[in-house]
Structure 1
């Protein structure tokens, strides 16, 4: 005999303060349904992105099921954690700081507490206090036949000629804008464990992800604070090294790749600084900009290995930087000599220079990344040759070499057939060659032209010209395509 299931109404208080009042199905399981009515407030509540069971602290579900879209009061504390890379959210429509709700680990999975001995899986939460909860990876479902994308140099999106099928599920671990020209940067997901991407518009995501700028995915961008265009640059020893006659322009993006406390012996204090990623920067030439800051003339300037005070800039984009030391460590290590192990580590990194320079990662990186690495090695050699080195400086030099090496990202273009390149594969090779050989410094502005015959795609002619010298050709040579591309 079939048993009829009786549907009864229950109060918000009875069902864990779930908003609004919902229906319960008995006797097999409790189902808390969402409503179509507009919620007055999501403060102190979680919003679900999926039907979610309630679990106890041992990880056993209680047969109570919360419906997708339901608002549930949570228990726990909201705290700021700018270094969180999973299960975080922003507040007040600003990405200046990241926040997290207390996370409970049960059998290796992440949960949020919603009552006494009652938890729901974090994977089923869409928002906290009305703010989208952001995950470091998720699963997407392809909505319709969608092109497979790869990223060429300079963040350029190109298609491989292959497609993903409708209904196919993919695990993705990044979301960001890709360049399709026409000043357009539509979002695409990076497919985990591959070199490929898929347009966000072509899929439905299980959870939210933070949208990043792929062009600066592994770095951080800051800008000088308003009315602080003359924020100085410093050397490791605290000396001001700002190029004479130059200043920062308003809202000028500055790439930085590290945060470090530096000890200033003259001022007897340690302050937090950011390490500038590149030795060349675009700055306003005050001599040729008499109406600065309203009208400016921009030049590329060589600044060397430089730092800027964290108090002089504000965060704009990219990952948050955790200081590599503390203020007390900066002071203590500035007053003692480097240890024997630090000296050995530093010399070992220097001795690996030739091997690094022979790698594809080095050879096919941009001029700036190769230059940053070479200068990090040269700076370390110079310091060691001068004699006594403090522990603080040795630790910084080790960090600087390792960081510059890690930023080398050269890679060959993946192609289907080296003897029969597609139009997009040829374009990707051309973009890679341009990225490797083009450069702009304080003395020259080089760009290259690549000429490949359709009859023989195994080689191409590379011509390098100097724009500052009336586009004078400074070199022409034949190159092997296989040095820049390889078959999948």
Structure 2
């Protein structure tokens, strides 16, 4: 797998001259930061370094084997590993209840998802941070019925899993979409504005100042804070 700084430009991986290399090889473990980025070529990439731009295509990486300080492993190439990271207040843990089910990933440029070849088994646990109905869940309609088909996003990954295949430790608020491609937000506190590479634009938006249009949720690496 090559390391990229843009969709067409490759870059070496590593922070020092002795550690730099132009390729990652099968079996190597690499740390990624935040969710994926969609480049101009429509393909998805994970950030693997900083503060320089260093990205690897999501398609070239296998299942998540650990998050933060927690790790787990699984020898089956068909089965993803458990997502064992800490659970935040707007997150929950789900347990797979069906004998075998597949994970889903987003279709580039669209809200909908498609099935992957990543299969999980009964008893596997994941931390999820979002529950959606409507377009992404494939229902084609909105609604607030808790029994309607919905889909969970697995925290820190590019994967989703349907609610009828899992048992959740607690109910998350359902986000409903029907052909939605934008949202309007206001700030509940002053916020700083960043570039995609995590550098500040030296602009601050005031609390409740204006209504802003947002198109997506992304994670960026902020070097001065040393976190995503």
| TM-score interval, normalised by the smaller of the two chains | 0.3 to 0.5
TM-score for the superposition, normalised by structure 2: 0.39
Greater strand fraction, Structure 1 or Structure 2: 1
TM-score for the superposition, normalised by structure 1: 0.20
Q: Larger relative CO (CA 8 A, sep 6+): 1 or 2?
A: 2
Instruction: Give the greater-gyration-radius structure (CA).
Output: 1
